[in-house]
Structure 1
Amino acid sequence: MARRAAMAKTATKVADVPAPAGGRQAPDPRRRREDFAWFWRAWTVSTIGDQVTLVALPFAVYTRTHSALAVGIAASMQGATTLLFGLYAGALADRLRHRAVLVATDGSRALVLALLAVLVATTPDYPVAALYAGAFLLGALGTLHDASHSAALPLVVRGRDLLRANGKLSASESVGNAGGPALAGVLTALGVGLAFATDGLSFLLSALGAARVEVLKQPEQIVHADRKSIGEDIREGLRALRSDRVVMHALVLVTAGNVMAVAVEAQFIPYARQVLHVGARGIGLYFAIGGAAGVVTALALGRSDTTRGTAMIAGAAIFGLGVLAAGIFPSTTTVVFTYLAAGAGSVLQITHWSSLRQRRFPVRLLGRVTVATRIALFGIMPVAYIAGGVLAKADSPQALFVVAGCVGLVACLWAWAVGLAKVRLDDVIADS
């Protein structure tokens, strides 16, 4: 761990992954580019599909129940599966071949969505319990998929290319966040079954794309954990995460950003309607502005290959200033700045955070580390949602925005004080 602490202060120059066994050569640059292209396409199509189900599933539940509580239960399934099975899923992802996990989880999600599509299309009084079960399965499979996906990326691209690669993945996510809900609205209007079927098709295409990534077919590129118990594997991952002070400091900053994001997200519609007097079209336009800012920022990250602590702090600060401005100076113009700041700041922070995590830990630990950090991020969400709602009801949405913005800015000052700004990594840490 002393070696890692020293590496936080200077750029690293180490191997991407362990040397291939048996004297075989690592993939040539052209092969790597082709592999990442398939990896990126698979992520893009499934990310857009995800946004469809995020709208269609609550719509299907509400259509049958007319209950906000029932919708909340369905929406909570992803977070619940991460909290319940995340550590196990991370350990399992580190034991299995990443290509097999990616293909199997995408294929399984396609099957679940196909069954839901048939159910809602052919059964007018479809059971809500089936939707809950489907949401739970999608959440569990998604947790395992995401753990393996994050661990696989350092095998697909060279260590020095991780920031660029994460930037492109973030761009796809921003496109999905901006355009996915609009697509979901059209498909859901035509039929909830069609929306589920469309997302199922996206996962099928994603599975086919992941299967084309040649580097993940090479057994010598995967470093298997020793065959210990799952419990021992989980404890090893948690010890590694807890021992890395740089990543723990960054995790606190990202968690503060998540608190800021979810608190504001939950209360933006009341803020827009009560304070700005903006309708559904205006709200949709703000979301589109934020998504566009995220895409531009993510693509701009392709000009750099260095993970910087200053970039994470800057991203959180930009986001915090935007939220604070909306609370202090509420106006339609100010909120344009808020969403530009939210889109750019969140992508800047998260992209550098992802590459930091992938560069600080060996591939064999990344599944466990990824899920452990996600548990921290998901675990804080209920607190942020409830606290934000209480504050907005007791005072006003503007007060919530002021408090949330201050949380983000105080976290930035703390991160600077503990030395996160000194972090600069150019490559990965050798697997060992």
Structure 2
Amino acid sequence: MPSLGDLIAPRRMGRDFRWLLASSWTSNVGDGVALAAAPLLIASMTSSPILVASGAILQFLPWLVFGLHAGAIADRFDRRRLVMFANAARAIVLAALCVFLITGTANIWIVLAVAFLYGTAEVFVDTAGSTLLPMIVKPADLGIGNARLQAGYLVANQFAGPPLGAFLFAAGTAWPFLIEVLCVTLAIVLVSRMARTPVPPREEHAPVHTDIAQGLRWLWRNPPVRTLVLIILVFNVTWAAPWGVLVLYATEHLNMGAVGYGALTTASAAGGLLATMSFGWLEKRVSFATLMRACLSLEVLMHLAFALTSTGWVALAIMAVFGFYAFIWGTISTTVRQRLVPTELQGRIASVNMVGVFGGMVLGQALGGVIAQFWGLTAPWWFAFVGAAITLLLVWRPISHIVSAKPALDDAAEDPQPDPVA
């Protein structure tokens, strides 16, 4: 009978996968603590929905500024070391925030500046980190590998971290961020145990903008991956509109308080854990296309349900369903993209995808803050419901073409797949 360790990280996936998994899970504990603590810190300094949403916007804005460059850099250097250096930068920024909080000199503008600097370092961590899994496991194991990484994200970042972050914030504003510094530092040590990753082949002395242009050309000429990136972009706009003011929605509209706000994220993680246990069964019995359509349909219904409810326990139930389908969608969309993109382009295409994710979140949260300011805290949910429903109708058919596309060869840019929209 296999051990628990073998069930979590099968031996066939190798030693490096276990170090990557341990590093990712550890980092996510710290990030989960800050997930609840950071919005609470901002909300304790201002009641303006626009400034509250600005905290998340400034953390994600670096993707629009540095995202494409981060992808090109990840395709030039040892990706493992890049993750280590960028995580070190995150730890330094968080340590500085702790000093401001302990000395009582922190204010809303310092916190917003920290959010931007932290987000800048995270751009390089996430871009380089997303390229490591395809380099150390076989394509057939990408699904289970992504599921395990997502499981750690759910348990640590979404389930355990936020309640702990809310509790630590109540004990002292600096405590959650001190814990995050420790977690990020330990994550650096763990990922350093991986074998050095090979530097992807590239044209010598080519400027960064040339590498970026090459990645964009490949994406434009590969309709399945291009369409997947566009779907993620649009759905993140609609998703982020209400999420940017979720802390106000939970504490003021639902009257759940700070701990109740953290419980929403915990409920989402509980749904995700159920999805973790179900993913292997679903992957074998239900097509990826069917699963993707089901997830996007549930997204539409989730927005409608939040717009209509004013009860805390109903919101918790909705969040549990959200956690279930969000885990399935995230695992499938990442796996499909990684299977279709050549190794030497993983960094650049991942960065374009992430620019779409966070660009959509920046736009969505900006819209959500303004909508909530003028029309109330449920108005962003109505905006999200209508926008997501229209988008789902447009992408229903192309999803089949995305899932059935063949993996790209090295010369895939010269031999693109048929356009799924055609």
Q: Same fold (TM over 0.5)?
A: yes
Q: CA deviation at 1:246?
A: 1.1
Q: CA deviation at 1:44?
A: 1.1
- Could you tell me which amino acid in structure 2 is paired with residue 318 of structure 1? L
- Could you tell me which amino acid in structure 2 is paired with residue 107 of structure 1? A
Q: CA deviation at 1:88?
A: 1.2
Aligned mates of 1:100, 1:366 — CA distance in 2 = 16
- Could you tell me which amino acid in structure 2 is paired with residue 116 of structure 1? L
**Equivalent residues of 1:55, 1:184 under 8 A apart:** yes
Match status 1:224 vs 2:224: no
Aligned mates of 2:56, 2:66 — CA distance in 1 = 17
Q: CA deviation at 1:270?
A: 5.4
1:260-307 per-position Cα deviation (integer Å, ceiling 9, x unaligned): 321232354555567655555544443322211012213422343798
The correspondence for 2:275, drawn from 297, 300, 307, is 297
**Equivalent residues of 2:22, 2:190 under 8 A apart:** yes
Among the aligned pairs, what percent are the same residue?
28
**Equivalent residues of 1:307, 1:352 under 8 A apart:** no
Match status 1:171 vs 2:151: yes
Structure 1 residues 270, 108: closer, same or farther in 2, change over 3 A? closer
Match of 1:255 in 2: 233
Aligned mates of 2:74, 2:342 — CA distance in 1 = 14
Tell me, what secondary structure is at the counterpart of 1:76?
A: helix
The correspondence for 1:323, drawn from 303, 312, 318, is 303
Match of 1:104 in 2: 85
**Equivalent residues of 1:289, 1:339 under 8 A apart:** yes
Moved more, 238-247 or 31-40: 31-40
Q: CA deviation at 1:239?
A: 1.2
Match status 1:265 vs 2:246: no
Match of 1:20 in 2: none
Match of 2:400 in 1: 421
1:371-408 per-position Cα deviation (integer Å, ceiling 9, x unaligned): 21222222233432343345556655555434422322
1:40-69 per-position Cα deviation (integer Å, ceiling 9, x unaligned): 111111112123334445556676x65757
Aligned mates of 2:259, 2:110 — CA distance in 1 = 33
**Equivalent residues of 1:177, 1:291 under 8 A apart:** yes
Question: Runs of 5+ in structure 1 lacking a partner?
Answer: 1-28
Match of 1:375 in 2: 355
- Could you tell me which amino acid in structure 1 is paired with residue 288 of structure 2? R
Moved more, 358-367 or 397-406: 397-406
Q: CA deviation at 1:225?
A: 1.9
Moved more, 176-185 or 36-45: 176-185
**Equivalent residues of 1:171, 1:298 under 8 A apart:** yes
Match status 1:314 vs 2:276: no
Tell me, what secondary structure is at the counterpart of 1:206?
A: helix
The correspondence for 1:200, drawn from 181, 185, 193, is 181
Match of 2:120 in 1: 140
Match of 1:3 in 2: none
Match status 1:76 vs 2:54: no
**Equivalent residues of 2:227, 2:402 under 8 A apart:** no
Q: TM-score, normalised by structure 2?
A: 0.82
Q: TM-score, normalised by structure 1?
A: 0.80
**Equivalent residues of 2:34, 2:162 under 8 A apart:** no
Question: Runs of 5+ in structure 2 lacking a partner?
Answer: 1-9, 412-422
1:53-109 per-position Cα deviation (integer Å, ceiling 9, x unaligned): 34445556676x657576655543322211111111111111011111112222332
Match of 2:32 in 1: 51
For residues 340-379 of structure 1, the aligned pairs below 5 Å read 340-379=320-359
